[in-house]
């Protein structure tokens, strides 16, 4: 079952193969899943009645979870790409300034007359100092901007995937609880509830800083 795979992965990815290391909500879901699978084995005759009612809703919850989780990853990827486009000009500026420094020294190397040759290197060295400082400043500001944007994107991604996971855990726990009650021979099953609008799981945090603030 896909959801059980999810729980196993969640446990494994936390590096602690200990059930107690799971957040409470995850533990509740894992517990009820375990209980449900035991009940399914113990009451095969009730499976026929109960399982068809909930399997569809459980599959839909899994599907919604996969979609909303992937949306979080897409948003993060698009934001990363946007940062790359934002710094494209700075990239070519730094490159061009570096090329200018190199070509000024190369130009000097071709001069025959020693007097002009040294005069040329003297001038080129002076110009390259100024240019190197400009390169240093631009590179540093852009680098810091990129780091800050990456932190924000990472935070937003975690916020989004956490929210999507929480919604999934809550919804699945409710569905498995109802299935378990049905298997245990409780009152005849109600129609399963559908919850969580997947459009709710968008990031809701501070707007990103603009690159202009760094120049
Ligand atoms: C996401 O969840 C993890 C684990 O529960 C938590 O450590 C982290 O702070 C959360 N991040 C956000 C941005 O909510």
Between 77 and 201, the more confident residue is 77
Tell how far CA 150 is from the center of its chain. 10
Q: 64: burial class by Cβ within 10 Å (0-12, 13-18, 19+)?
A: buried
Q: Does residue 155's CB lie within 6 angstroms of at least one atom of ligand 1? A: yes
Q: How many whole angstroms separate alpha carbon 173 and alpha carbon 28? A: 7
Confidence of residue 135 (pLDDT cuts 50, 70, 90): very high
- For 46-184, the fitting CATH number among 3.20.20, 1.10.10, 1.10.287, 2.30.29 is 1.10.287
Task: Tell me how far the alpha carbon of residue 157 lies from the centroid of ligand 1, in angstroms.
Answer: 10
DSSP structural state of residue 43: -
29-38 average pLDDT score: 83
Q: How many whole angstroms separate alpha carbon 210 and alpha carbon 199? A: 26
pLDDT at residue 175 in the model: 92
Q: How many whole angstroms separate alpha carbon 102 and alpha carbon 85? A: 26
Residue ID of nearest Cα to ligand 1 atom 4: 162
Q: How many whole angstroms separate alpha carbon 11 and alpha carbon 26? A: 9
Q: What is the pTM of this model?
A: 0.69
Round the average pLDDT of the chain to a whole number and report it.
82
Q: How many whole angstroms separate alpha carbon 145 and alpha carbon 137? A: 12
Q: How many whole angstroms separate alpha carbon 89 and alpha carbon 97? A: 12
Q: How many whole angstroms separate alpha carbon 55 and alpha carbon 123? A: 79
Which one, of 145, 140, 139, lies nearest residue 92 by Cα?
A: 139
pLDDT tops 70 at residue 49: yes
108-123 average pLDDT score: 96
pLDDT at residue 31 in the model: 83
Q: Which atom of ligand 1 is nearest to the CA of 163?
A: 14
Q: Does residue 10's CB lie within 6 angstroms of at least one atom of ligand 1? A: no
Tens digits of per-residue pLDDT, 172-181? Answer: 999 999 988 8
Q: Does residue 14's CB lie within 6 angstroms of at least one atom of ligand 1? A: no
Residue pointed to by tokens 């107690």: 20
Q: Could you write out the DSSP letters of every residue in 198-215?
A: GGG-S--SPPPPPGGGG-
Helix, strand or coil, per DSSP, at residue 192: coil
- Give 33's contacts (C-beta < 8 A, 6+ positions apart): 1, 3, 4, 7, 176
Confidence of residue 185 (pLDDT cuts 50, 70, 90): confident
pLDDT at residue 53 in the model: 85
pLDDT at residue 60 in the model: 93
pLDDT tops 60 at residue 191: no
- Give 172's contacts (C-beta < 8 A, 6+ positions apart): 3, 29, 58, 61, 62
Give the helix/strand (H/E) hosting 174: helix 114-183
pLDDT at residue 203 in the model: 44
Q: Does residue 89's CB lie within 6 angstroms of at least one atom of ligand 1? A: no
Q: What is the largest CA-CA distance in the chain?
A: 103
């Amino acid at each position: 079952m896909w959801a059980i795979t999810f729980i196993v992965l969640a446990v494994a990815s936390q590096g602690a193969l200990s059930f107690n290391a799971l957040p409470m909500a995850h533990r509740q879901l894992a517990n009820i899943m375990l209980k449900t699978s035991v009940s399914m084995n113990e009451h095969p005759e009730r499976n026929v009645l109960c399982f068809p009612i909930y399997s569809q809703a459980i599959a839909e919850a899994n599907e919604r979870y996969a979609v909303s989780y992937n949306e979080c990853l897409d948003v993060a990827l698009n934001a990363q790409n946007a940062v790359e486009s934002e710094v494209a000009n700075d990239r070519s500026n730094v490159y061009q300034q570096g090329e200018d420094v190199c070509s000024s020294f190369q130009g000097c190397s071709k001069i025959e007359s020693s007097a002009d040759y040294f005069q040329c290197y003297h001038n080129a060295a002076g110009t390259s100092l100024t240019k190197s400082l400009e390169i240093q400043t631009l590179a540093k500001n852009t680098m810091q901007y990129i780091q800050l944007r990456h932190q924000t994107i990472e935070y937003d991604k975690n916020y989004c995937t956490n929210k999507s996971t929480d919604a999934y855990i809550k919804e699945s726990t409710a569905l498995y609880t109802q299935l378990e009650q049905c298997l245990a021979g409780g009152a005849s099953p109600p129609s399963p509830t559908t919850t969580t609008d997947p459009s709710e799981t968008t990031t809701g945090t501070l707007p990103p800083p603009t690159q202009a603030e760094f120049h």
